[in-house]
Amino acid sequence: MTIASKVSAAIERSSWIRRMFEEGAALTAKYGAENIYDFTLGNPSVEPPAAFHRELRRIAELPVTGMHRYMNNAGYEETRAAVAKRLAENSGTPVNSSHIIMTCGAGGALNVTLKTILNPGEEVIILAPFFVEYKFYVDNHGGVTTEVWTDPATFQPDIDTIEAAITDNTRAIIINSPNNPTGVVYSAETLAALGQMLERKQVELDRSLYVISDEPYARLAFDGTIVPPVFKYIRNAIMVTSHSKDLALPGERIGFLAANPAMDEVELFMEGAVFCNRVLGFVNAPALMQRLVATLQKESVNIDEYQEKRDLLYNHLTDLGFSMVKPGGGFYLFPKSPVADDVEFVRLAQKHNILLVPGSGFGAPGYFRIAYCVDMGIIERSLPAWKKLAEVSGLKAG
């Protein structure tokens, strides 16, 4: 075989989103883009805020000498300081530039973090439903994943279930809020309870247990919701994020990791993470993007646009009989499949030109994901198709 058998098997397990995207492209070519309702990819259709374009033009017209040269492997000091200042303000913790590493997106930050903390065979708990790449990222660095379900009624983490899953070999827990695929925002009460439980378990096991908080959707919160700052509630916490969603820059691969200043041996962790950022081949986050986002830490895309899309789809689908937890942020809906086999339901939706991803792709069979980060026109045109799909699925379409 040309490629490793392990990679071949991984491709087969992880291909749902891309597979649906490719099938959508074929349908688009056949029926025309205006007749296909593609909700598969979390690829924002909105443009970056105006401040991004202003800063991009300013940098291009007034270049700084040496602005494209090598830099410190943690990133530019001024960018890290700007990131740290905002985190300190939001969390009330004394974050400074020494606790920040600029990375190639949240995926880069996750891989750097996992390589830094994992010994071969150590366990990382992931909460279902989960972003599928977590399993592969953990495997990249010799770890193994333990899947723990969230409360199916709310998709909030179940602290007792997490505690029961912790063993002498557990090293970390990955949390994701607002969550992909459910859109649920983990409450302050949940984070506080998780932090208290972990403090108790760390004493019992005599080892550090890390929480890796994956937060690329943290600024996309609705109805006045504030995403609770993880550093306020969990001592051994590492935050990883990107500007793919809040600044609509997914193709630029710019993000960062931040360590809680109160973390065990935080200086040693940061030294290790800087080293891993280098040897994993990321080396540095892109220089131009670092300079740009340094001035944009308080900027964001228009959150109201996402909330309007959420409300239109959520209200329409629940009126048709679909059942789901109302998301508090992000840009996903995660309804229960009205057909027992979620893959079969997704195939049925395709017959109505609606492209979805089965919950099986997120460790949650029996559900399906809708990415509503598409143009409003696509959502509006899809509504009659959703009604027909509800009818053929046995729901009482309104």
**100-122 per-position pLDDT tens digit:** 999 999 999 999 999 999 999 99
How far is 318 from 316, CA to CA, in rounded Å? 6
Mean pLDDT rounded to a whole number for the chain:
94
Instruction: Give the domain CATH number at 83.
Output: 3.40.640.10
In a domain, 397, yes or no: no
Whether the pLDDT of residue 356 is over 60: the answer is yes
| pLDDT > 80? residue 25 | no
* pLDDT 10s digits, 197-242: 999 999 999 999 999 999 999 999 999 999 999 999 999 999 999 9
CA dist 303 and 283 (Å) reads 33
Considering the domain architecture, whether residues 82 and 220 belong to the same structural domain is answered as yes
Tens digit of each residue's pLDDT (9 = 90 or more) over 138-159 = 999 999 999 999 999 999 999 9
283 with 313, same domain: the answer is no
Pairwise CA distance, residues 229 & 215, whole Å: 10
Residue 265 CA to residue 261 CA, distance in Å, equals: 9
| pLDDT class of 16 with cuts at 50, 70, 90 | low
Q: Which residue has the tokens 């989103």?
A: 17
Residue 168's Cβ-count burial label (10 Å; 0-12, 13-18, 19+) is exposed
CA-based R_g, the chain, Å = 21
Inform me whether the pLDDT recorded for 398 exceeds 60: no
Asked which of 249, 266, 294 is the last residue of a domain, the reply is 294
* Same domain membership, residue 270 and residue 340: no
Residue 250 domain boundaries: 51-294
* Cβ neighbours of 128 (radius 10 Å): 14
Read off the CATH number of the domain in which 347 is found: 3.90.1150.10
In the block, residue with structure tokens 């992931």:
126
Last residue of a domain, one of 243, 270, 294: 294
Kindly report the length of the chain.
398
What's the confidence (pLDDT) of residue 14?
66
